[in-house]
Structure 1
Amino acid sequence: MKKIALNIAAFLVLALSWSCANDRDDELGPVSFLEIKNFIYDGMQLYYLYKPEVPELANDFFESRDARNDFLNSFDTPENFFYNGVVAPVDRFSFITDDYRELERSFAGISKTSGIEYGLSLDRNDPNFAFAWVRYVLPDTPASAAGVERGMLFNSINGERLTTTANADGTYSLSARSRELLNLDVFSIDLAEFDTNDDLQPTGVSIDLTQVEYTENPVFIAKTLTVNNRKIGYLMYNAYRRNFDVQLNNAFAQFKADGIEDLVLDLRYNGGGSVETAIDLTSMITGQFNGQVITKQRWNPEIQAFLESDDPESLIDRFDNTISNGNAINSLNLSRLFVIGTGSTASASELTIIGLEPYIDVQTVGTTTVGKFQASITLYDSDNFSRNDDSLNPSHFYAIQPLVYTYENSAGTVGPPSGIIPDFELRENLTNLGVLGDESEPLLSLALDQILGRSPSGKSRSGMKFEHFTAVENQSIDFQRMYIDYLPEVLQNKK
């Protein structure tokens, strides 16, 4: 992806027309909500993908600056203004943070964790209660040291049941109290198990845990399987993180050295991340299409028209042959790919699938993905919305992460908002999740069936269905986000 230099002198009628230098506070000290809301408005009016769907973002909507400020002041907080004033109803993914330092840490995979990555499901007998199931355990964490394993179930923290709150649309969310329990620095999980009637019962066993600061390597499992004398690569990849591109590329170097003939890419828990890393991953899987188009971006009409006129190449993402540090990509030159996906698979994961489909045979296993086919950028309160600018407002840490473009692949296909439907459907079985990376693990086994042309096992694989409604990663600020790693340059101050 190219750096975009927008000469906003050509955009004289854009969002910036109302801005002027004396609107910024010259004195350090507490920042007013109005100042923050003005920054939010300027950024959204310039970059927001769904600008045409928000009447208040029209360039000529307000007759005066005072009228605009009256509108901004009708919202009590920056968060209220962002979500209820300038985010379109169709938008599920744009967000605001009051501490961009936390956001930057999240993008780098840094968080406080006990090491348990879990899903949450409703108690099938009473949806006012929930239970957690361990999806995987991070290495070298308190959870791994305490013996927590994939497939363990717990429905209480410190003896207190996990509860839910009913939403207006008929769905459920974890209650505020349960979120508080799950975020304690020191806590105990109370294990449970299914009885003969498939009802959840406490086992009487508790495991004490603490939370520590941890940097997660998203390359969770990379191994070569030999099945029926055929070498098959298996990669469980859990987030598209730019700072781990070297580790990802090294995994492909090993696959290449092993001479794998097929690859199973496990994205079942991968909510996305860096667009650039997604482009690199498609190039690692292939290699024979260097320079050809993967995706074509579509911004809001004003920026789209400008870029089409001034720098049309900047709208195209192409297969490449180097990662972010300049190292050569280790390409496999595969002609087909098997992807494991679920309802936790989103954004950059879906770009990988959609981007490759015109070039190689991509077959998906699992359940329908999220359906998130837009990219975002981080906007900071500075003259060019950049973090690395001398004008960065020192009085607060607010930033916004708006959606700025959607895309189509080289064949003109736009990903469906309802998600990618699997070619071979199979829901994870909470009563028998299996061992990740093991040939008998149900989802991997189904992918291997397709590779080897063998008949699936006759036993029931899906087990009892539980309503899965959330997971640990959705407490992360960058949950299901796909982002550009750098801000397009704006060659005119916004103030």
Structure 2
Amino acid sequence: MRKLAVLLVTTLVVSACGSDGESFTGIGGGGQPAACSNDGQKQFVLDALYDWYLWNDLLPAGINISDYASPEELVFEVTTTFGPRDANGDPLDRFSSVGSLVADQQFFGEGKYEGFGFSWREESNEMRISRVFEGSPAGLGLLARGHYVDRLNGRTYVDVRSNEGVGAFFDANDTVTFSVRRPDTSTFDTVITKAIVTIDPVPAARIRVIDMGAGVPPVGYFEFRTFISTAEPVFDTVFEDFIAAGVRDVVIDMRYNGGGLVRTAELLGDYLGGFANDGLVFSETEYNADRNPEFTENERKSFFSRLGNSLDIQRFIVVASRSTASASELVTNSLEPYADVWVVGDNTFGKPVGQIGIPFCEEKILRPTSFRTKNAAGFSDYFDGLSVDCPAEDLLDIPIGADNDPNLVAALSISSTGACPVATTPPGVQAPEFLKDIVLPEARGDSARELANAW
């Protein structure tokens, strides 16, 4: 991906409060807080919001830092109170936050985070495991996709959710007894303790070249979990193998991919679209009215680059869900003007905006929503999500990417016939009421939780 200037993407390479780093003078006209006291931190993040927040025109003058207990609370309350709202009157910005700088660096650089090692969602008032990361405490504790969690430390899921909330519960407990029910109704208890979990962004077991029959090009498929730097070298190997096999249609399973590094999204765009669109616009970034004039139009654009293993793609099929967000949507939306793009599964989350990272006080990072992206056709209005073309159920009783996974079945139908299949439920599987009674966990939090639903 070619840029005519280096844009702010994930982390500004500066130290906003440290003693050994370069000062970031773009915030409030100054460098770093006068002190890293609580008030100093609150003033710093408020000044940063006035400077970099995408909707800074909505922030009233004279916000009093004394009204907030901490920089974390200030960012949350200011952005949800004064930021934009959706058609239902709910805050549109659910992403701006203050977090741990070390945790951010470990997640984006190595795919590491401290936790149990699973993803989940709510189905009909029940907590259900949707994914378990390989080698994690959850995996070693025998949790698996499709399991129901009936109790947490002896308390029902509904009790935890209705009181402190599931996020606060897991934040407060390093060791948890999970009372689990399998889909066959058998039960077991398992005690799981947090540890460092490493997310494999492109698991080898979910990279497939699928034979479509004699005389028909095979289909390339892989699951992509999150946009982090460790995915980047894997792309080249995957697409090299796809080219060698004669693949023309690519299916990327991003049903739980909440985004990540824009740099990684742009690289994936090069492998998918660089062959035929070298030098054309991939996306354009817009900042607030104060920051936008600091860049020329071309400096805010990213352009396709043809790489050695860029694929001469015929069709791009995205497996999506309401958890598919941000960088996942950026790639999908940016390919739309150039390729035959299909979305299978469900509508995506709807996040055409992104955050920059501003480190401060050596150990913290402010991540305000600061830019919006649009494709070469100028489209960026998808706060309600990118629309699904072929609805398909994400049945947790079936492994991701299995032959009878309804999402893969739909994707292969598109590849072979150019149309969606007649919706069916695999034999022996009880289908939930499609697209109803499913509630996703709160996404705001550390990077692993927000971008990979990783707990």
Give the TM-score range, shorter chain: 0.7 to 0.9
| 1:340-351 alignment runs, 5 A limit | 340-351=319-330
Tell me the residue number matched to 2:16: none
TM-score (norm. length: structure 2) = 0.81
Tell me the residue number matched to 1:409: 375
Shift of 1:254: 1.8
| 1:215-226 alignment runs, 5 A limit | 215-220=198-203, 221-226=206-211
| 1:273-288 alignment runs, 5 A limit | 273-286=260-273, 287-288=275-276
Change over 3 Å in CA distance of 1:73–1:350 after alignment to 2: same
Q: Of 51, 54, 59, which residue of structure 2 is paired with 1:49?
A: 54
Shift of 1:455: 7.3
> What letter matches 2:34 in structure 1?
R
> What letter matches 2:200 in structure 1?
N
Q: Of 140, 150, 172, which residue of structure 1 is paired with 2:135?
A: 140
SS of 1:55's partner is coil
Write out per-residue CA displacement over residues 323-366 of structure 1, whole angstroms, 9 at most, x where no aligned residue. xxxxx552111021111100000000000110000000101111
Change over 3 Å in CA distance of 1:428–1:3 after alignment to 2: same
Query: Identity rate of aligned residues, in percent?
Result: 21
SS of 2:102's partner is helix
Change over 3 Å in CA distance of 1:20–1:299 after alignment to 2: closer
Write out per-residue CA displacement over residues 354-380 of structure 1, whole angstroms, 9 at most, x where no aligned residue. 000000010111111111001211112
Structure 1 unaligned segments of length 5 or more: list them.
Answer: 7-13, 26-30, 57-61, 63-67, 124-129, 166-172, 196-201, 322-327, 382-392, 483-495
SS of 2:251's partner is strand
Q: Please give the alpha-carbon distance, in whole angstroms, between the structure 2 residues aligned to 1:459 and 1:73.
A: 57
Tell me the residue number matched to 2:432: 464
Q: Of 288, 292, 304, which residue of structure 1 is paired with 2:280?
A: 292
1:422 aligns with 2:427: no
TM-score (norm. length: structure 1) = 0.75
Structure 2 unaligned segments of length 5 or more: list them.
Answer: 13-25, 85-91
Tell me the residue number matched to 1:110: 112
Q: Of 269, 272, 276, which residue of structure 1 is paired with 2:259?
A: 272
- Asked if the contact 1:116/1:143 (under 8 Å) is kept, the reply is yes
- Asked if the contact 1:272/1:348 (under 8 Å) is kept, the reply is yes
- Asked if the contact 1:269/1:341 (under 8 Å) is kept, the reply is yes
Shift of 1:46: 1.8
Q: Of 451, 460, 465, which residue of structure 1 is paired with 2:415?
A: 451
Q: Please give the alpha-carbon distance, in whole angstroms, between the structure 1 residues aligned to 2:104 and 2:60.
A: 29
- Asked if the contact 1:346/1:480 (under 8 Å) is kept, the reply is no
Q: Of 83, 86, 97, which residue of structure 2 is paired with 1:89?
A: 83
1:315 aligns with 2:322: no
How many residue pairs are counted as aligned between the two chains? 412
Greater strand content: 1
Tell me the residue number matched to 1:485: none
SS of 1:139's partner is coil
Shift of 1:92: 1.8
Shift of 1:244: 2.6
Shift of 1:157: 2.6
Shift of 1:144: 3.4
SS of 1:16's partner is coil
Write out per-residue CA displacement over residues 56-97 of structure 1, whole angstroms, 9 at most, x where no aligned residue. 2xxxxx6xxxxx7xx222333222322333564324234332
Q: Please give the alpha-carbon distance, in whole angstroms, between the structure 2 residues aligned to 1:363 and 1:337.
A: 6
Tell me the residue number matched to 2:17: none
> What letter matches 1:192 in structure 2?
R
- Asked if the contact 1:157/1:182 (under 8 Å) is kept, the reply is no
SS of 2:68's partner is coil
Alignment root-mean-square deviation, CA: 3.0
SS of 1:302's partner is coil
SS of 1:279's partner is helix
- Asked if the contact 1:242/1:277 (under 8 Å) is kept, the reply is yes
> What letter matches 1:73 in structure 2?
S
Write out per-residue CA displacement over residues 389-447 of structure 1, whole angstroms, 9 at most, x where no aligned residue. xxxx45xx3321011111221011113111111011123234xx312222211111111
Q: Please give the alpha-carbon distance, in whole angstroms, between the structure 1 residues aligned to 2:449 and 2:352.
A: 14
- Asked if the contact 1:157/1:181 (under 8 Å) is kept, the reply is no
Tell me the residue number matched to 1:358: 337
1:16 aligns with 2:28: yes
Tell me the residue number matched to 2:188: 205
Q: Please give the alpha-carbon distance, in whole angstroms, between the structure 1 residues aligned to 2:445 and 2:79.
A: 23
